[in-house]
Amino acid sequence: MALKATIFKAELQIADMDRNYYAEHVLTLARHPSETEERMMVRLFAFVLYAHAQLGFGKGLCVGDEPDLWRRDLTGAIELWIDVGLPDEKWTRKACGRADEVVIISYGSRAADIWWEQNKSKLGKLGNLTVLGLAAPATSALAALAQRTMRLQCTLQDGQVWITDGQETAHIEPLTLQHHANR
């Protein structure tokens, strides 16, 4: 018998002072049986970082040709493609051909460093790609906030992010490894 996804509910109050974006979002996240809470919370962090009314989650780990998150325009064209983790360089090139902008949010400490060293020259040629890195303490703090039902306040200012549930706070400062050429 196949294991089913675990459902998490998140109410986000987002105050993004860098983009002048202030909104509340009610989200349902499905955590695949093979997905860790850390990865799920990095996906949620990606939503916070790029919050938009049209931003949504892809089908997840079981679908290889969909991102973790994406934003489409009214015609169905992909404006923003976001992958979490350490995606294959070939799939990233393909994503850059399909979307106006692609973002990779890498994490995993030493593994992420090795992945970046192996891929940065090839990925550097992709003009619509942004690569961000998250430090292990930040992703551990995010994972500590994971609950089946979450109410989180998220503040973004000067490239730093604070996410709190009222008890614990995760402070995240993404490291920009590569900038989108048009940003």
Inside any domain, residue 65: yes
CA gap 126, 37 in Å, rounded: 30
Inside any domain, residue 11: yes
Inside any domain, residue 161: yes
pLDDT at 170: 97
CA gap 131, 123 in Å, rounded: 9
pLDDT at 65: 75
128-160 residue pLDDT tens: 999 999 999 999 999 999 999 999 999 999 999
Provide the number of structural domains found in the chain. 1
Inside any domain, residue 96: yes
Widest pairwise Cα distance in the chain: 48
Inside any domain, residue 1: no
Q: What is the pTM of this model?
A: 0.94
Inside any domain, residue 22: yes
Instruction: Share the mean pLDDT of the chain.
Output: 93
- Percentage above 90 pLDDT, the chain: 87
Cβ-defined contacts of 74-83 (< 8 Å, 24+): 79/54, 80/50, 80/52, 80/55, 82/46, 82/50
Eight-state DSSP code of residue 166: S
The CATH number for 32's domain is 3.10.640.10
Inside any domain, residue 183: no
The parent domain of residue 91 ranges over 6-178
Average pLDDT over residues 112-124: 95
Inside any domain, residue 139: yes
